[in-house]
């Protein structure tokens, strides 16, 4: 069953905290974008300055060139993030980083950019709990989803069948049904929720679309 997860893309602790409050009425899981200013353009936030209330399920998307350098800061957070996603295109011992997260009770995820072929990163895919298909551009928001990237779902499952698959980049109400039908478990939504007056209503529309396939399946089974 697919889920819709609001993405927080703000670049200051104050703005991030404001977004927590804005999403609180309708969401309990969020996707937090963090950039280092090198691998991805943007203002770096000291990870030790981040905090959130108990009960939030936080997916931390680490767009860092050297994620291993952040392991101690991440594992020292209280509460800890539920999931930390790093990029397969980053540098350093990424397998050791994934294991370090998992040893601390944090799920590890790997993001694949558009040009990255899953088979080239099979060792990472086999080691992690989540694979993020990154359809966007680093540090940019409000782009168009490249639906051809859905082909990676099949290729990822061929490497590790029981792995959660996420999508980042250009998700909107109109394409969310296709993403869910294509095998995306976690649809991260940034621009389409951040830039509206009533995010709760837009979230409701997203939720309806991603669960439409489940309703149709149940109807077919009854018939």
- Measured from the Cβ of residue 56, the count of other Cβ atoms closer than 10 Å reads 17
Q: What's the rounded Cα separation, in Å, for the pair 176 and 35?
A: 26
Counting residues of the chain whose pLDDT is more than 70, the rounded percentage is: 93
Tokens of 110: 């790997």
Would you state the pLDDT for residue 55? 85
- Measured from the Cβ of residue 158, the count of other Cβ atoms closer than 10 Å reads 12
* pLDDT exceeds cutoff 70 at 219: no
The per-residue pLDDT of the chain, averaged, comes to: 91
Would you state the pLDDT for residue 140? 67
Would you state the pLDDT for residue 76? 95
Counting residues of the chain whose pLDDT is more than 90, the rounded percentage is: 70
Would you state the pLDDT for residue 40? 87
Q: What is the pLDDT of residues 27-59, one digit of tens each?
A: 989 999 999 999 988 888 889 888 888 888 999
Radius of gyration over every alpha carbon of the chain, rounded to an integer in angstroms: 17
Q: In a 3-state reduction of DSSP, which class is residue 133?
A: strand
Asked if CATH classification 3.20.20.70 holds for the domain at 3-222, the reply, yes or no, is yes
More confident residue, 164 or 14: 164
Q: How confident is the model at residue 221 (pLDDT cuts 50, 70, 90)?
A: low
Closest CA to 44 of 30, 34, 52: 34
Query: What is the helix (H) or strand (E) element at residue 207, kind and residue range?
Result: helix 199-222
- Predicted TM-score (pTM) of the model is 0.92
Q: What is the pLDDT of residues 54-72, one digit of tens each?
A: 888 999 999 999 999 999 9
Would you state the pLDDT for residue 132? 98
Q: What is the pLDDT of residues 67-97, one digit of tens each?
A: 999 999 999 999 999 999 999 999 999 999 9
Q: What's the rounded Cα separation, in Å, for the pair 189 and 20?
A: 14
* pLDDT exceeds cutoff 60 at 151: yes
User: Using an 8 Å Cβ cutoff, are 125 and 166 in contact?
Assistant: no
User: Using an 8 Å Cβ cutoff, are 186 and 167 in contact?
Assistant: yes
Backbone angles phi, psi at 55, to 5 degrees: 105, -25
Would you state the pLDDT for residue 218? 55
Would you state the pLDDT for residue 191? 86
Closest CA to 130 of 169, 89, 105, 163: 163
Q: What's the rounded Cα separation, in Å, for the pair 182 and 196?
A: 26
């Amino acid at each position: 069953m697919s889920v819709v997860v609001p993405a927080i893309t703000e670049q200051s602790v104050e703005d991030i905290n404001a977004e927590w409050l804005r999403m609180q009425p309708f969401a309990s899981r969020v996707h937090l974008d963090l950039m280092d200013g090198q691998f991805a353009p943007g203002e770096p936030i000291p990870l030790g300055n981040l905090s959130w209330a108990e009960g939030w399920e936080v997916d931390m998307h680490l767009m860092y060139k050297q994620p291993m350098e952040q392991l101690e800061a991440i594992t020292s957070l209280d509460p800890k993030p539920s999931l930390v996603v790093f990029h397969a295109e980053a540098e350093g011992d990424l397998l050791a980083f994934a294991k370090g997260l998992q040893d601390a009770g944090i799920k590890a995820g790997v993001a694949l950019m558009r040009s990255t072929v899953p088979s080239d990163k099979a060792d990472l895919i086999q080691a992690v709990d989540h694979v993020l298909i990154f359809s966007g551009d680093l540090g940019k928001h409000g782009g168009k989803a490249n639906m051809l990237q859905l082909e990676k779902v099949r290729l990822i499952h061929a490497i590790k069948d029981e792995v959660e698959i996420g999508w980042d980049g250009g998700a909107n109400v109109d394409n969310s049904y296709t993403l869910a039908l294509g095998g995306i478990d976690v649809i991260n939504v940034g621009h389409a929720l951040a830039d509206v007056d009533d995010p709760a209503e837009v979230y409701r529309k997203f939720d309806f679309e991603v669960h439409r396939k489940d309703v149709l399946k149940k109807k077919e089974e009854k018939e």
